[in-house]
Structure 1
Amino acid sequence: MNKIKKYRFDIIKYLFIAGLIVLAIVNFDRLKNIFSYLLTISMPIILGFIIAYILNIPMVMLEKLYFPNSDSIVVKKTRRPVSILVSIIIITVVLIFILNLVIPQLISVFGRIIEIIPVLANGIQSWVIENEEIFPPLAEFVETFQIDWQNIVTNMISIVNRFTTNIIETTLSTVGSVFSIVVNLFLSLMISLYVLMSKETLGRQFRILSETYLPERGHKGLMYVLEVTDYSFRHFITGEVLEALILGSLVTVGMWIFQFPYASMIGALTGVTALIPVLGAYISGAIGFIMILVDSPIQALTFLVFIIVIQQLEGNLIYPRVVGGSIGLPGLWVLISITIGGGLLGIWGMLLAVPLVSTLFKLLKNDIEYRRNNRYQEQEYVDVVEEINESDELKVND
């Protein structure tokens, strides 16, 4: 009778779940709109927790350095506020330094590219005409082919201006206004400061809620998943930042040694784009190649060889040791996760995909090891029982 009741309960449960899935599929557009609305409302809270998580990494390090052996009450009370303040100052100064270094140079180079395109095109056209015996049909075509470069440059500037205007308008329409951006950022910063100042209390309250409303197995499972997720994201962030510093320094020093132009700017850009796993170095290399090409095509080709060597060094030595080893994710899965994450969510997808896949990979790996160990233990137990039974049978026969 109990088995029949359990069987009926299971059928009702699965039918209920199937019904919910069907309703979700039928009302997908409504659910999507509701989810987008809730996400927009809760964005300052989400952003606040993200800022708190990132600031927590340098904050913990600074707390260990802030008079670690002191028993003073003043030191204990000021340890966390001072560590938070210094963390914010360090990150802000680094961001301002990089933006001031990269953006003006990019604007300058873009202007030079627009100016030099007609010169390069006319030079190529003249060279083809002068060497018409090598490519007679091409020389004949180039000689009769005329381009209004002034009109093209004007159109390019117009396209860039429209593109920039569209980005600004889209951003403003998404968040409402500049005022709402400032308010949301301020709220996010306040939330992050509150979370950092009382993270132990919040953690304790969360554990109490989990222990109270979840069964023991569910509570332990949730804590385990959160610990693995925290480990993956924390080591990914620290590993990526360290790898970006190493790669940016290598590119900067190497460019100074080989006397390439824009050494500081391209080095800083390489460090920033290196935060995008694997693909970041290629992005900065392509931008650097175009920038140097404006000044000297020969140096641009030499830089291309230099950046390929650096990328091989980064991909085969630096990244696997600094980041790959810290998150425990094989290189193939890193590339797959970046590809899928980038396709779904763009750059944010590339940044989040690696630690998320690393978390799933670690959970799956640990679960497989746990199941295999249990299976081996069960098999060993069966073997021991069989040996005992065989020995008992031999004794009986004797």
Structure 2
Amino acid sequence: MAYLLNIGTRFLEKKVCIKFNYFNTNNPTIKKRERILSITIAFVILIGIIIGFISYIIPEIMSSVQNIINIAIGFDYTGIKKWVDNFLIQNNITLGSETYNSLIASINKIVESFTDWLKYLPDMIWSLVSHTISFASSLVNIVMGLIIAFYLLVDKEKVVDFGKVVIKCIVPKKFAPVVINNIKIVNETFNSFFAGKTLDSFIIGLIFFFGGMILNIPYLLLSSIIIAITNMIPYFGPFIGAIPVIILTMLVSPIKSIWVIIFIFVLQQFDGMILGPKILGNSIGLKPIGVIFAIIVGGAIAGPLGMFFGVPIFACLFNLLFSFIHNSYNKKYNVKEDTSIDKSKER
């Protein structure tokens, strides 16, 4: 908990307090006030998100799911045929009878499969909610965790220094600096990925929400959450999230689903070419082919979680390997840090 909250605390310290000259000084007492203020704001935001999620978002999602099930159960599948017929006529498209029947059958099969799956969705969601509430009932443990996290964040430099001392005591003197440096690389890689990708996905979710209000997309809150969460998975995430959103829209208005497809496509192009690079940059040190490889391998090993965590884990391994090569090169040829391998190049 302290590790995750530290991401928000660091952002508030570096981007907010310093930028707006709040306590911008080297005085230790004032710097500690700055730290406490940043931690307090991060805690308030976290608690506000939890309260908002429990009191508003969960009931809204359940209401949307119930409406979707009611629509799906009474869905008029002949409407799909009429819509396809009108679309083909309006665009002067001619299909052979075999191709036409195959297209209609495929669409009906997808919708029917989705409908069958929806029947089990309420039980799945309520099971998740009940487990969440059961976990939240352990209020003492949560409060203790927050208190411990607060003090760890206030004195995190002392905690880090103590950790370094422990490593130096346990690890042989020759390897202690290497271990400390490797831990630093892992920490920076995970921090960069989670902080950047969370901000990126949050912005994409907001843009989809406000754009969906203009397009009058049905089940907008649920669809926005799906888009934001799946966007955490690089490259493949947007396509994974687009499928259920398009199907949900198609249940209400097949024609509107075309606009949703166009909107999601434009949004993901904006994310991939402008927003993502602006926020993430080269923070994790992987080229696109490395990211795709990490997602495929991670997904094969651990499913959706593997697709998400595969990227930072693979990036850590790659950065550790690069650090080893970098240090070996310096040692072998006795060159200075700045004249060795260029670390700024994208890997």
**TM-score higher than 0.5:** yes
Q: Quick check: 1:51–1:189 contact (8 Å CA) kept in 2?
A: no
Displacement of 1:261 in angstroms is 4.4
Residue of structure 2 in register with 1:57 after alignment: 10
Partner of 1:119: 75
Report % sequence identity: 25
Instruction: Give the direction of change, closer, same or farther, for the CA distance of 1:184–1:71 in structure 2 (3 Å limit).
Output: closer
Counterpart of 2:310 in 1: which secondary structure?
A: helix
**Would you say the 8 A contact 2:200–2:279 is kept in 1?**
yes
**Alignment correspondent of 1:24:** none
Distance 1:225 1:198 in 2: 22
Unaligned residue ranges in structure 1 (runs of 5+): 1-47, 129-133, 143-148, 379-398
Q: 2:284 aligns with which of 308, 324, 327?
A: 327
Larger radius of gyration: 1
- Inter-partner Cα distance in structure 2 for 1:183 and 1:340: 39
Change (3 A) 1:217 1:59: farther
Contact between 1:59 and 1:83, CA under 8 Å: does it hold in 2?
A: yes
- Structure 1 residue aligned with 2:147, among 186, 190, 202? 190
CA distance in 1, matches of 2:83, 2:271: 39
Aligned pairs, how many? 309
Identify the match of residue 253 of structure 2 among 269, 272, 296.
296
Higher helix residue share:
1
Q: Is the 8 A contact 2:295 2:311 kept in 1?
A: yes
> 1:38-80 CA deviation, whole Å, 9 max, x = no partner?
xxxxxxxxxx44445444433533554542249695x455333
Root-mean-square deviation (CA, aligned residues, Å) is 4.0
Specify the alignment match of 2:88 in structure 1.
Answer: none
Q: Residue 278 of structure 1: CA displacement?
A: 2.9
Matches within 5 A, 1:130-141: none
For residues 331-362 of structure 1, give each alpha carbon's deviation from its aligned partner in whole angstroms, at most 9, with x where no partner exists. 12222223333444444434432222112111
Question: How far does residue 205 in structure 1 lie from its aligned partner after superposition?
Answer: 1.8
Verify the 8 A CA contact 1:55 1:88 in the aligned structure 2: no
Tell me how far apart the structure 2 counterparts of residues 232 and 190 of structure 1 sit (CA, whole Å): 27
* 1:17-56 paired onto structure 2 within 5 Å: 48-56=1-9
Q: Offset at 1:86?
A: 0.7
**Among residues 55, 61, 77, which one is paired with 1:106 in the alignment?**
61
Q: Could you say which residue in structure 1 is the equivalent of 2:160?
A: 203
| Mapping of residues 79-228 of structure 1, within 5 Å | 79-94=34-49, 96-97=51-52, 102-117=57-72, 118-123=74-79, 159-164=120-125, 167=128, 171=131, 178=135, 181-228=138-185
Counterpart residue number, 1:386: none
Determine the structure 1 residue equivalent to 2:293.
Answer: 336
| 1:165 to 1:297, Cα distance in 2 relative to 1, 3 A | closer
Q: Distance in 1 between matches of 2:232 and 2:206?
A: 14
Q: C-alpha separation between the residues in 1 aligned to 2:256 and 2:119? A: 31
Structure 2: unaligned runs, 5 residues or longer: 85-96, 106-111, 336-347
Alignment of 1:236-275 (within 5 A): 236-261=193-218, 266-275=223-232
* CA distance in structure 1 between the aligned counterparts of 2:147 and 2:62, rounded to whole angstroms: 34
| 2:304 is equivalent to residue 352 of structure 1 | no
